[in-house]
Structure 1
Amino acid sequence: MNEPLVSIITPVYNAEKFLEDTIKSIIKQSYENWELILVDDCSKDSSSDIIKEYKKNDDRIKYIKLEKNSGASISRNTGIKNAKGRFIAFVDSDDLWEETKLEKQVEYMLKNDIGFSFTSYRYMRENGEKTNKVAKAPFKIDYEGLLKNTIIGCSTVLIDRNIVGDFEMPIVKRGQDTATWLKILRSEKYAYGIEEALVNYRIVGNSLSSNKMKALKRTWNTYRNVEGL
């Protein structure tokens, strides 16, 4: 299979606790033609040292440090601007990918001429232990469907710029990822889901229910202030 370059973008802010596991899960990918762009949003911990250590041994790892703390939207947009890949993927600095994540997703998209796909994801405890709880990706979702069900996890997304074109995230404090998917779905008819859980989403600190409350506030903000609903 022809392997187009995938640019993986990770915003990093004080991520020393889990960052190494995230980087390792990218290095272990069965699909090897990727670059990992880690954008350091002025971390005060040892995140930059961890990145530089891995960068020494793998030139697919890129390090960008922002001049001032700017938030996840600007971090991700900086990554997108510096990305050389045909495909853009995102992974948060505490999430983990299954080894076949990129291989299966790229193959699926190339075979079916798809511009925007996402996968199911499994919830994982803070210590990295996988739970039985899975957020299942539907076969496909459109703009209206995403308004009703914000099922697309940021760390699961893969976008083909040859089909979707260039894009960036709106500069909002929360929910910039969902706002981006909605924006793309105004021109792309569907985002296509892969049923297999190829990403492990870490629940840090708080319980799932308090995370749900934060997610609801984030979604309301996106609909009201970004989509103008």
Structure 2
Amino acid sequence: MQPLVSIIIPSYNSAGFISATLDSVLSQGYENWELTVIDDCSSDETCAVVSAYASMDTRISLIALSENQGVSNARNTGLENSWGKYVAFLDSDDIWLEDKLKSQVQFMENSQSALSFCAYQRIDENGNIISRIVPVPQRVDYNKLLAHNVVIFSTSMILRTAIGKLRFSRAGHEDWIFLLKLLKNCGAGHGINLPLALYRVRKNSVSSNKIKAIGYTWRIFRVSEGLNFFRSAVLLARYAVSASLKRLQ
């Protein structure tokens, strides 16, 4: 029997993109999944779009929050309201290719890995591919992830027992912090070098604001991970180089 995969999608004013995201889940060859969209008090038609999908497929559910509290709270709400052996995170504007779940579940069942992630391509706001395939390393531990966050969160799948009581903190790059804490406990994650996802780059996203991203990264090193000034400065320099190289891919 296929293990259940819980898919968690935080959303906020995503009406223009979330249909493509949900369609990509519905097109999966792997069928034993539950999908929870946690809407963070959107002011557009996101809830109406998701409700329409939920009415057509009982595996899809919507939790509409009455107050905007940020993506960390939305993801934590998703964790508290899902039950699968594996948890797969998906942002409300990203897209999975049809073999994504099947390939990852098979890999994790065979390898007994607590975390897996995969290669991807970038798309623009109109869905046009704007990068080559971005490969991922076969293995990443805490120190490697600290030096360079190679995991696009919409490609991640995590064993629920490895998550335990771990939850997202209310901070910039909360997904990176979450994975660093996870790897402190479970040792390593593993990459699948198949392009199984499309990562959407939007003009006003945090990831597109390089100055803000550098500030968040510095706080991760100094506050979240408690590193000294010198090591933080070295890691920040490496981060800046890696970010520049990403733009060339």
Q: Shorter-normalised TM-score: what interval?
A: over 0.9
Correspondences of 1:28-43 after superposition (within 5 Å):
28-43=27-42
- The alpha-carbon deviation at position 69 of structure 1 amounts to 0.6
The two structures have a TM-score, normalised by structure 2, of: 0.86
Is residue 201 of structure 1 aligned with residue 196 of structure 2? no
Return the offset for 1:220.
2.0
Distance 1:190 1:118 in 2: 12
Could you say which residue in structure 1 is the equivalent of 2:49? 50
TM-score (norm 1): 0.93
* Aligned position for 1:168: 166
CA distance in 2, matches of 1:154, 1:146: 13
Instruction: Name the CA shift for 1:77/1:207 in 2 (closer, same or farther; >3 Å).
Output: closer
Q: In 2 relative to 1, CA 181–165 (structure 1 residues): closer, same or farther, beyond 3 Å?
A: closer
Letter in structure 2 aligned against 1:169: R
Task: Give CA deviations for 1:142-195 in whole Å, capped at 9, x if unaligned.
Answer: 000001111111101001124x14143332231110001000111111110011
> Aligned partners of 2:206, 2:158: CA distance in 1, in Å?
28
Q: Quote the Cα distance in structure 2 between the aligned partners of 1:28 and 1:104.
A: 14
Q: 1:187 aligns with which of 174, 179, 185?
A: 185
In the alignment, what sits opposite 1:72? 71
State how far apart, in whole Å, the 1-side matches of 2:172 and 2:184 are: 20
1:177 aligned counterpart, secondary structure: helix
Q: Percent same amino acid at aligned positions?
A: 40
What is the CA–CA distance in structure 2 between the aligned matches of 1:18 and 1:98, rounded to whole Å? Answer: 16
Post-superposition Cα deviations, 1:60-117, rounded to whole Å, max 9, x if no partner, equal 0011011211000000000000011110010000000010000000000001111111
Higher deviation after alignment, 165-174 or 138-147: 165-174
Structure 2 residue identity aligned to 1:3: Q
Contact 2:85 2:159 in 1 (8 A): yes
For the 8 Å contact 1:71–1:173, the answer to whether it is kept is no
Cα distance in structure 2, aligned partners of 1:16 and 1:186: 36
Letter of the 1:122 counterpart:
Q
Give 1:219's aligned residue: 217
Structure 1: tracts of 5 or more residues without a match: none
Q: How far apart are 1:217 and its partner, in Å? A: 2.8
Q: CA RMSD in A?
A: 1.8
What stretches of structure 2 of length at least 5 have no aligned partner?
228-249
Counterpart residue number, 2:91 = 92
Cα distance change, pair 217–157 in 1 and its aligned pair in 2 (3 A): same
Q: SS in structure 1 opposite 2:87?
A: strand
Larger Rg: 2
Residue 22 (1) aligns with residue 21 (2): yes
Q: CA deviation at 1:208?
A: 11
Q: Provide the C-alpha distance between the structure 2 equivalents of 1:115 and 1:188, rounded to a whole number of angstroms.
A: 7
Code of the aligned partner of 2:110: K
Structure 2: how far apart are the matches of 1:17 and 1:209?
19
Answer with 188-197 or 211-220: which moved more.
211-220
Shift of 1:206: 5.4
Contact 1:169 1:179 in 2 (8 A): no
| Contact 1:170-1:180 at 8 Å conserved across structures | yes
1:174 aligns to what SS in structure 2?
coil
Runs of at least 4 residues off by over 6 Å: none
Alpha-carbon distance change, 101 to 169 in structure 1, aligned in 2, over 3 angstroms: same
The residue type equivalent to 1:34 in the other structure is W
Q: Which residue of 1 aligns with 2:243?
A: none
Matching of residue 137 in structure 1 with residue 171 in structure 2: no
**Aligned CA distance change for structure 1 residues 173 and 209 (closer, same or farther; 3 Å):** closer
2:177 corresponds to which letter in structure 1? A
Contact 1:169-1:177 within 8 A present in 2 as well: no
